[in-house]
Chains A and B, each alone.
Chain A
Amino acid sequence: MSTQAEHGHGDHGSHASVKFYWMIGGILAALTALEVAAYYMELGAIEVPLLLILSAAKFVLVVGFFMHLKFDSRVFTGVFVAGLVLAVFMVSALILLYHWVPGFTSVAAGSA
Chain B
Amino acid sequence: MAEAAAVAHDDHHYTSTGLNSWKVGFWTFIGSECLFFGTLLSTYMVYKGAALQGPYPGDVFDIPLTTISTFVLLMSSLAMVLALDGVQRGNKRLALFWLGVVIVFGSIFLGFQYYEFTHFVHEGLTLQQSVFGSTFFVLTGFHGAHVTVGVIWMISLFVMGLRDKLPPEKALSVEIAGLYWHFVDIVWIVIFVLVYLIP
| A and B physically associate | yes
* Cβ–Cβ contact B42 & A24, under 8 A: no
Q: Nearest chain B CB to A7's CB is how many angstroms away?
A: 16
* Docked CA distance A107–B88 (Å): 57
Closest to A94 in B: B42
Contact present for A66 and B81 (CB under 8 Å): yes
**Chain B residues within 8 Å of A52, by CB:** 193
- Contact between A91 and B71 (Cβ–Cβ < 8 Å)? no
Could you tell me if A75 and B31 are in contact, using CB atoms closer than 8 angstroms? Answer: no
Of the residues A25, A62, A75, A91, contact of B189 by C-beta under 8 Å: A62
CB distance B193 to A75 under 8 Å? no
Interface residues of B in 62-97 (CB under 8 A from A): 63, 67, 70-71, 74-75, 77-78, 80-82, 84-85, 88-89
CB distance from A36 to the nearest CB of B (A): 5
Interface residue B51 (Cβ < 8 Å from any Cβ of A): no
B88: chain A residues within 8 A (beta carbon): 13-14
A residues 24-51 touching B (CB-CB < 8 Å)? 24-25, 28-29, 32, 35-36, 38-40, 48, 51
Looking at chain B's contact residues, the main secondary structure is helix
B186 near A32: Cβ-Cβ < 8 Å: no
| Residues of chain A with a CB closer than 8 A to B67's CB | 32, 36
Question: When A62-B77, A73-B19 are in contact, do A94 and B37 touch as well, CB less than 8 Å?
Answer: no
Which chain B residues have a beta carbon within 8 Å of chain A's beta carbons?
A: 17-20, 23-24, 27-28, 30-35, 37-39, 41-42, 45-46, 63, 67, 70-71, 74-75, 77-78, 80-82, 84-85, 88-89, 171, 175, 178-179, 182-183, 185-186, 189-190, 192-194, 197-198
Q: Which residues of B contact A24 (CB under 8 A)?
A: 78
Residues of A within 8 A of B24 (CB): 75-76, 79
**1/0 contact trace for A86-109 toward B, CB 8 Å?**
111011001100110000000000
Q: How far is the CB of B137 from chain A (nearest CB, A)?
A: 19
Counting from the closest, the 10 A-B pairs by CB-CB distance are A83-B31, A87-B38, A25-B78, A55-B193, A83-B34, A87-B34, A94-B42, A79-B27, A98-B46, A76-B27
Q: Is the CB of A35 within 8 A of B30?
A: no
